[in-house]
Homo-oligomer: A and B are copies of this chain.
Amino acid sequence: MHIGELVTNDGEGGAFAARPDAALVIAKGRVAWSGPASQAPAADSAVDAGGRAVLPGFVDSHAHLVFAGERSAEFAARMSGRPYQAGGILTTVAATRAATDDALRANLARLVAEMARQGTTTLECKSGYGLTVADEARGLALAAEVTPEVTYLGAHVVPPEFAGDPAGYVDLVCGPMLAACAPRARWIDVFCETGAFGADASTAILAAGREVGLGARIHANQLGPGPGIRVAAEAGAASADHCTYLTDADVDALTSARVVATLLPGAEFGTRHPYPDARRLLDAGVTVALATDCNPGSSFTSSMPFCIALAVRDMGMTTQEAVWAATAGGARALRRPDVGHLGVGARADLIMLDAPSHVYLAYRPGVPQIAAVWQAGRLVAGSIAP
């Protein structure tokens, strides 16, 4: 029962909060009580944390998990500066289209289980490697088997069969593909970037999604400055993701439109772009989330602890800010008040660390420290053994 540090994120306005020497009571899959260990009420069964830290489960609000194949050779070539003739995202599109449902399902299940072992209890999952009506719908159906946070990303790139007619592809994304996909998704996303989709197309795609009830999110300003943040603010997007290259006007737009900035340091690690400046965003009052961007091209990490360590080392975040961003921040990016914190009534998604405090996630980078993981009060990974 003795929790060395209980991170609850139920400070004023949902701010980071932690209590030493704490206990937590779970009933019906929800947090029923938390407080000093010395005042813990009786319970049917008890787990002794032995002084270890307990945190809300991680909320990974940006992941591309429905795919086939891998791109390790492309990664190795990029890292060593060798030229590599590869299709990038389109390599994965070809492999994904050719894969059976069962092959995609097995790869997805493997990644979801891997994420659970690393403390992720809520995850978002995008399509975007199908890029035909049938393949996008299939990707979303598979994603819906593992999470309610399903995102339609038909607008990932223009597929080769529309290379000469990108406007035609936007029409498909906003028309028949959207019609097939919307019933299976909660969110719509667009890769707004030079070489993918411009401001007008991105605006049209998010608007089409909104008309059929999908919330907006966006890949914005990843590889260079661009209009993505402005598009996100105008569309009322829940989150603008990447935010690597921002102008002062972009920062102002995120603040005033209350768009969450979801930072994905795994992508900068995997591409050697500069890390996004979280400090600047936090100082401007922007809500910051951290997520993995798990995908086989630019960021094949599934580790939220790794992202936290990078955020502290390279993005100007304190350990408290980084842990908050990886839990409550992700929850805000998904507009999910029930997760990302351990206030009374929250879903009992929690992590027990093999460590006495949340600081260790950055203090001990790369070390697996997730001892046990519960989802809605049920142990889903690890063990409670000391």
Docked-complex contact B359 and A306, CB < 8 angstroms:
no
Q: What's the Cα separation between A360 and B302 when bound, in Å?
A: 13
Q: What's the Cα separation between A290 and B269 when bound, in Å?
A: 19
Q: What's the Cα separation between A357 and B71 when bound, in Å?
A: 12
Query: Which among B114, B307, B359, B365 is the interface contact of A269 at CB below 8 angstroms?
Result: B365
Instruction: For A301, list chain B residues within 8 Å (CB).
Output: 364-367
Docked-complex contact A363 and B303, CB < 8 angstroms:
no
Nearest residue (CB) in B for A80 is: B318
Instruction: For A70, list chain B residues within 8 Å (CB).
Output: 356
Docked-complex contact A363 and B300, CB < 8 angstroms:
yes
Instruction: For A363, list chain B residues within 8 Å (CB).
Output: 72, 75-76, 270, 300
Instruction: For A72, list chain B residues within 8 Å (CB).
Output: 356-357, 359-360, 363
Binary contact track A298-311/B, C-beta < 8 Å → 1, others 0: 00111101110100
Instruction: For A362, list chain B residues within 8 Å (CB).
Output: 75-76, 79
Docked-complex contact A75 and B368, CB < 8 angstroms:
no
- The residue in A76, A312, A319 that gathers the most chain B C-beta atoms within 10 A of its C-beta is A76
Instruction: For A368, list chain B residues within 8 Å (CB).
Output: 117-118, 368
Contacts A367-B118, A367-B303 given; indicate if A79 touches B269 (C-beta within 8 A).
no
Binary contact track A254-298/B, C-beta < 8 Å → 1, others 0: 000000000000100110100000000000000000000000000
Binary contact track A335-373/B, C-beta < 8 Å → 1, others 0: 000000000000000000000110110111111100000
Instruction: For A306, list chain B residues within 8 Å (CB).
Output: 365-367
Docked-complex contact A303 and B359, CB < 8 angstroms:
no
Interface residues in A, total, Cβ within 8 A: 37
Q: What's the Cα separation between A79 and B316 when bound, in Å?
A: 8
Instruction: For A300, list chain B residues within 8 Å (CB).
Output: 363-364, 367
Nearest residue (CB) in B for A114 is: B367
A237 CB to nearest chain B CB (Å): 28
A378 within 8 A of B: no
Q: What's the Cα separation between A363 and B356 when bound, in Å?
A: 30
Docked-complex contact B313 and A366, CB < 8 angstroms:
no
- The residue in A79, A114, A300, A318 that gathers the most chain B C-beta atoms within 10 A of its C-beta is A79
Contacts A364-B301, A365-B303 given; indicate if A272 touches B75 (C-beta within 8 A).
no
Nearest residue (CB) in B for A306 is: B366
Nearest residue (CB) in B for A268 is: B313
- The residue in A118, A313, A368 that gathers the most chain B C-beta atoms within 10 A of its C-beta is A368
> What are 17 A-to-B residue pairs whose CB atoms are below 8 Å?
A72-B356, A73-B359, A76-B318, A76-B319, A76-B363, A114-B367, A117-B368, A266-B366, A269-B309, A270-B313, A272-B313, A303-B365, A303-B366, A306-B367, A307-B366, A309-B366, A366-B366
List the 5 shortest-distance A-B pairs measured between CB atoms, nearest first.
Answer: A306-B366, A303-B366, A72-B359, A368-B368, A75-B363
- Beyond the given pairs A75-B362, A79-B313, A270-B313, 11 more chain A to chain B contacts, judged by CB atoms under 8 angstroms and listed by A's residue number, are A72-B356, A72-B359, A72-B363, A75-B363, A76-B363, A117-B368, A300-B363, A300-B364, A300-B367, A303-B365, A368-B368
